[in-house]
Amino acid sequence: MRASAAPSAGDSPAGQERTGQERAGQEETGQERSGQQGQRSGSLTVAQAAALSIGAVLGTGVIGLPALGAQTAGPASLVAWLALVLLSVPLAATFAALGARYPDSGGVATYARRAFGSRAAIVVGWSFYFAAPVGAPAAGMFAGAYVAAAFGGGAATTIGTAAALILIVAVANFWGVRISGKVQLVLSGLLIAMLVTATVTALPHADPANLQPFAPYGWGSVAVAAGVLVWGFVGWEAVTSLAGELRRPARDVPRATMIALVVISVLYLAVAAASVLVLGAWTGATEAPLAELLAIGVGGQTRVFTAFAAVLLTMGTLNAYYAAAAKLGSALGRDGSLPAWFAPGSESGGVPRRSLAVFAGISAVAFLPVLIADAGTRTLVLLTTGSLVLVYVIGMAAALRLLPPRTFARRAAGLGFAAVLALYLVIGPYALWSLAVGLAALAYDGWRRRSGATNT
């Protein structure tokens, strides 16, 4: 529509003030509609949302990370575990505050859009949507390796297990978060029961002498151990895309996050402490301390225990990320960051089947380097994590602009931003992948603007 040459009321100071007020009112109205939509149509319960958060954060690392941490810093690795649990508080609190204030399927991309505009939003959205599926085969193959060790079959079992896990979670999410949330609740319940059983039954075999010497490699090793263990604490951003699916986001998001934070903190610290106290020798004799704890506490075949735990952990993580990413993809289509074809299902209660299909398809393609070039899973994991850390950096920066000043959430965002920015700077060449994805996103956005493509 051609603009009129006549001056508008907004050209005067009073008009500009009214325009600013109108824009603020429109933004607030949009927030109210978003919250009301979540209250009206949301189907996720607090327990289901907490289970999704637990699944996203408490990944497969709980199987091997306690051993890696102890091998790096000895019993002093427990200090690193405690430090990372404390670091999780500001990250979880920040994302909970954002999710409660702006419940939308766009998640961190929505926060970036409100704070910095559409270009920041598309970088965040693409960094999550196109990076997370690259890590899915690696996570599945991590579990598949344990299944192969327990039942045989070698590489065929490993890859077959990974493919089966991805197919299962894709099918579960095909029917929407109402089903995937219930599946996640069951998975988290089984996982929590297993971890509690492992620690409670093994602790009677604890020996305080295993704490000596406490820091055999010096206190500097604690920082190195923290760098290894930090990968077990990524995932707080995933469920922000599902905030609008909760019945009352403003109330339920903080509650679900608090439940997940307490459960994750207790379980991580309990497994790490039991690994050091019970297994001793700084757990250098095993790469699967959880399985060893189960074998000591309840008896049985260690490899079978490990395989079962790995499958539960991996399925929970994949389920949480698939649910969040499918919603995010549809929101990106709605907002113009992806073609409009992706948009169906972005509304609260909607099922984003198109977005889910593409996300699953990218995961399938990501198997090709493993099958053709015999690439290891480590590279896929680090590429994925590099992109997710970029999402954290922009998400924390957006929180600093969006959250009210002089509040706990705003202070938490400042602490979280400093921590994740430092982490992004030290991940080395794997940060280049996230930069490449970001540049591709900006190139698409530029093409869309030049071509006049819209998503209305």
66-115: pLDDT as tens digits: 877 888 888 888 998 898 888 888 889 999 999 989 988 888 889 999 99
* CA 308 – CA 193 distance, rounded (Å): 13
Let me know if residue 263 belongs to a domain: yes
Query: pTM of whole model > 0.95?
Result: no
User: What is the C-alpha radius of gyration for the chain, rounded to an integer number of angstroms?
Assistant: 23
Does residue 1 have a pLDDT over 90? no
Quickly count helices (H) and strands (E) in the chain.
18, 0
Let me know if residue 417 belongs to a domain: no
**For the CA atoms of 387, 64, 54, 132, what is the dihedral angle to 10 degrees?**
20
The domain in which residue 271 lies consists of 41-119+137-363
Contacts of 344 (CB under 8 A, 6+ apart): 330, 333, 350, 352, 353, 354
Let me know if residue 4 belongs to a domain: no
Let me know if residue 421 belongs to a domain: no
Number of domains forming the structure of the chain: 1
* CA 114 – CA 99 distance, rounded (Å): 13
Q: How is residue 35 written in tokens? A: 């919250």
CB 53 within 8 A of CB 319: no
Supply the angle between the helices 77-101 and 220-229 in degrees, to the nearest 10. Answer: 40
Looking up residue 77, the CATH number of its domain turns out to be 1.20.1740.10
Let me know if residue 405 belongs to a domain: no
Let me know if residue 153 belongs to a domain: yes
Does residue 39 have a pLDDT over 60? no
Element (H, E) at 217: none
Let me know if residue 128 belongs to a domain: no
* CA 190 – CA 33 distance, rounded (Å): 37
Residue indicated by tokens 């924390």: 396
Let me know if residue 336 belongs to a domain: yes
CA distances from 49 to 91, 251, 368 (A): 17, 12, 33
- Least confident span in 237-246, 272-281, 297-306, 405-414: 297-306
